[in-house]
Amino acid sequence: MSLLSLEDVRTDIGQYAVLHCISLEVPEGGVFVLLGRNGAGKTTTLRSIMGLWRPKAGAIRFQGEVISGLHTAEIARKGIAYVPENMGIFGGLTVEENLVLATEKGKFDPDRLARIYGLFPALEQFWTKQAWSLSGGQKQMLAVARAIVEPRALILIDEPTKGLAPSIVAAMAEAFRDIARTTTILLVEQNFHFAKSLGRDMAVIEDGRVVHSGTMAGFAADAELQNRLLGLAT
Ligand SMILES: Nc1ncnc2c1ncn2[C@@H]1O[C@H](COP(=O)(O)OP(=O)(O)OP(=O)(O)O)[C@@H](O)[C@H]1O
């Protein structure tokens, strides 16, 4: 059984049909990468999973249970976290306060906090600093840390490397590899090099439809397919 499955999901935004037919099977463990050109519907897919857009048809199942139709807070409680492209952190609050707000009871599990410090040492270093004063990479680390401060089975992460320097992207890849040992990651990413280094399974979305799915190794080895679906130079 897949951890997450989308079956013929269709989502409208206002009067516009954005997702026409999204079917995906995300297995448990590792990183599943969603690729596609700008405007293809990747963010809308993540938001539909999270209940931020309500699909008008189709079914989304998590651990075998239908979650499409539930409220976002209920979906989160089932064990799914979402790191949106704008990161969703509070600039006027400290690193600590941002993380406290992401806990269920306002208290940290010491083991989880130690893990976060191990993954992202900068967060421990800047623990009492307001989030706006962090670098772009540190803000992204804080956003990911908020998603793992409670136990989760699945994290949805939208374009985490956008605008980051290559050295930070490499550190992020290391952290994601570590997180994916215990928590499945569904990653939307434009940086194909980053995505390729992490993904086990993948799918490509085009105009609100899944037009390809398979292993990342297979896709990475097929330059013609990459060029056709993503416009990457061969
Ligand atoms: N709030 C909105 N109102 C109207 N149309 C929207 C809205 N959000 C997204 N869309 C449209 O839905 C389509 C899919 O957008 P989406 O953000 O899901 O694409 P994406 O694949 O994540 O692309 P990008 O990489 O540019 O973020 C686009 O045509 C976009 O213009």
**What pLDDT digit, counting tens, does each position of 31-43 carry?**
999 999 999 999 9
Here the ipTM equals: 0.93
pTM score, whole prediction: 0.94
Which range marks the domain in which residue 22 is found?
4-229
Report residue 229 CA to chain centroid gap: 21
Residue 98 within a domain:
yes
11 lines ligand 1 (CB under 6 A): no
Residue 234 within a domain:
no
> 62 to each of 4, 144, 145, 187, 222, how far by Cα in Å?
5, 21, 22, 16, 31
**CATH code for the domain in which residue 53 is found:** 3.40.50.300
Of the candidates 43, 50, 2, 49, the residue with the CA atom closest to the CA atom of residue 26: 2
Pocket probe mutation, ligand 1, options 9, 19, 20, 44, max atoms within 8 Å of Cβ: 44
pLDDT tens for the chain, 234 residues long, are 799 999 999 999 999 999 998 999 999 999 999 999 999 999 999 999 999 999 999 999 999 999 999 999 999 999 999 999 988 889 999 999 999 999 988 899 999 999 999 999 999 999 999 999 999 999 999 999 999 999 999 999 999 998 888 889 999 999 999 999 999 999 999 889 899 999 899 999 999 999 999 999 999 999 999 999 998 654
Helices (H), 83-222: 95-101, 110-119, 121-125, 136-148, 166-179, 192-198, 216-220
Beta sheet of 16-26, edge-to-edge order: 65-66, 57-62, 4-13, 16-26, 209-215, 199-206, 31-35, 184-188, 154-158, 80-83
Whose Cα sits closest to atom 30 in ligand 1? 39
pLDDT of residue 145: 96
Residue 128 within a domain:
yes
Pocket probe mutation, ligand 1, options 11, 15, 38, 43, max atoms within 8 Å of Cβ: 43
Whose Cα sits closest to atom 7 in ligand 1? 13
Which residues, other chains included, contact 70 with Cβ-Cβ below 8 Å and sequence gap of 6+?
51, 78
Amino acid (one-letter) located at 38: N
**What pLDDT digit, counting tens, does each position of 21-78 carry?**
899 999 999 999 999 999 999 999 999 999 999 999 999 999 999 999 999 999 999 9
Question: Domain total for the chain?
Answer: 1
